[in-house]
Amino acid sequence: MAEVRQPIESGVPDHVQYLHPLMKKNYGSWKRHDRPRPGVLHHVAKGGDEIWTVKAGTQRQMDVYTIRTLCDIADKYAEGHVRFTTRSNIEFMVSEESKVAPLIDALGKDGFPVGGTGNSISMIAHTQGWLHCDIPGTDASGAVKALMDELHEEFIREEMPNRVKLSTSCCAINCGGQADIAIVIQHTKPPKINHDMVANVCERPSVVARCPVAAIRPALVNGKPSLEVDEKKCICCGACFPPCPPMQINDPEHSKFAIWVGGKNANARSKPTFHKMVAAGIPNNPPRWPEVSAIVKKILAVYKEDARAWERLSDWIDRIGWPRFFEKTELPFTKYLIDDWRGSRSSLNASTHIRF
């Protein structure tokens, strides 16, 4: 037997070796920052050192040519150190203000938009989709590319009331995460079961246990041990599909997008909030998903017009109320938007607080 290599279980590497020298020197002793223009941060250390950061959008899923281009720019126009944000923007750090403009030019020439700072619309946090996921209802990179093309102007400017964070997810598990606006594909029909396969592929008790609404039970179908779904109870969440692929949840015709608004992870002003569903039944229409973009752009336009400075989407809705949100965005408020999941009564209006 060939000799096998034991892994070096080194864990998380030491970050200090990759820090820009000024970040290493002033680690933990920064004083303040400002934003000289959209896409640029200027930090001042307690000791007086200054560092400029130029932020640019990327496609997240990057080919080596793109990464090498970014490295070439970092070596030629910046100082060889970069970092990525949680929304897959790349940041270049420089120690002199005079390097900022040429760096921005170089990024622009190679097609990287500079922005994403302050009260802009930043890059969309997203999932894998058809490119790599095993339970995707749609693509992620493509939907994000199509939408960021349309939101590009708001990425490179700082003209929104406050920062806007978006996410997309290719199933209701919502790996893309909470956001001011989240775009989530939703399965709308129960799984179609291939009964010939279930006994061989699935550990049936754990599939039964996985269902959030206890809609799955063991059954004998055509003489074979299988599973059956109470289709009236089923909420089409897809949780049974990963442990039991013969319970096919993906359905090209009936997978529809839902749009959620008002998620906020910061503790600033109000406590963190979850996003809320405001639209559903939107068709899954590759390659550019125009129906999704239209609704997202409409919500953003109304928010931009109506919200006050520093109001995140959730702060704005808190002030104007949900009825007016639906009125202004022209989205239909249907009975399906009234929650009936566990704990849902706390989402009902237990008061006479009503705006007229």
Point out which span in 15-23, 190-198, 224-232, 320-328 binds other proteins (CB under 8 A).
15-23
Does 97 engage in binding with other proteins (CB under 8 A)?
no
Q: How many CA atoms lie within 13 A of 261 on its CB side?
A: 25
State the alpha helices, DSSP H only, in 110-194: 141-155
Does 68 engage in binding with other proteins (CB under 8 A)?
yes
**Of 57 and 190, which CB lies nearer to other proteins in the complex structure?**
57
What backbone phi and psi angles, to 5 degrees, belong to 48?
105, -15
Reported as type and span, the H/E element at residue 117 is none
Does 208 engage in binding with other proteins (CB under 8 A)?
no
Site string for other proteins, 271-300 (x = CB under 8 A): -x-x---------x-xxx------------
**Of 290 and 332, which CB lies nearer to other proteins in the complex structure?**
290
292 vs 280: CA distance, rounded Å: 10
CB of residue 260 vs other proteins: minimum separation in angstroms? 11
> Do residues 291 and 280 lie in contact, with contact meaning Cβ atoms separated by under 8 Å?
no
Does 48 engage in binding with other proteins (CB under 8 A)?
no
Q: How many CA atoms lie within 13 A of 183 on its CB side?
A: 33
Q: Which positions ≥6 away from 255 have C-beta within 8 Å?
A: 137, 138, 185, 186, 187, 188, 284
> Do residues 214 and 233 lie in contact, with contact meaning Cβ atoms separated by under 8 Å?
yes
CB of residue 179 vs other proteins: minimum separation in angstroms? 9
153 vs 182: CA distance, rounded Å: 19
Q: Identify residues 110-129 at the interface with other proteins (CB under 8 A).
A: 111-113, 125, 127, 129
Six-digit token string for 211: 């269902």
Strand partners, 221: 224
CB of residue 356 vs other proteins: minimum separation in angstroms? 24
Site string for other proteins, 325-354 (x = CB under 8 A): ----------------xxx-----------
Looking at 85, 95, 188, 194, which residue binds other proteins (CB under 8 A)?
85
Q: Identify residues 145-184 at the interface with other proteins (CB under 8 A).
A: 145-146, 148-149, 152, 172-178
94 vs 8: CA distance, rounded Å: 34
**Of 56 and 299, which CB lies nearer to other proteins in the complex structure?**
56
> Do residues 110 and 28 lie in contact, with contact meaning Cβ atoms separated by under 8 Å?
no
What backbone phi and psi angles, to 5 degrees, belong to 300?
-65, -40
Point out which span in 133-141, 218-226, 298-306, 320-328 binds other proteins (CB under 8 A).
133-141
Point out which span in 203-211, 221-229, 319-327, 329-337 binds other proteins (CB under 8 A).
203-211
Q: Identify residues 212-241 at the interface with other proteins (CB under 8 A).
A: 212, 237, 239
**Of 60 and 195, which CB lies nearer to other proteins in the complex structure?**
60
280 vs 255: CA distance, rounded Å: 10
Q: Is 303 exposed, middle or buried (0-12, 13-18, 19+ CB in 10 A)?
A: buried
**Of 309 and 354, which CB lies nearer to other proteins in the complex structure?**
309
Looking at 40, 54, 82, 121, which residue binds other proteins (CB under 8 A)?
82
CB of residue 331 vs other proteins: minimum separation in angstroms? 22
Q: Is 62 exposed, middle or buried (0-12, 13-18, 19+ CB in 10 A)?
A: middle
Point out which span in 65-73, 190-198, 218-226, 316-324 binds other proteins (CB under 8 A).
65-73
Point out which span in 88-96, 225-233, 296-304, 318-326 binds other proteins (CB under 8 A).
88-96
Does 42 engage in binding with other proteins (CB under 8 A)?
no
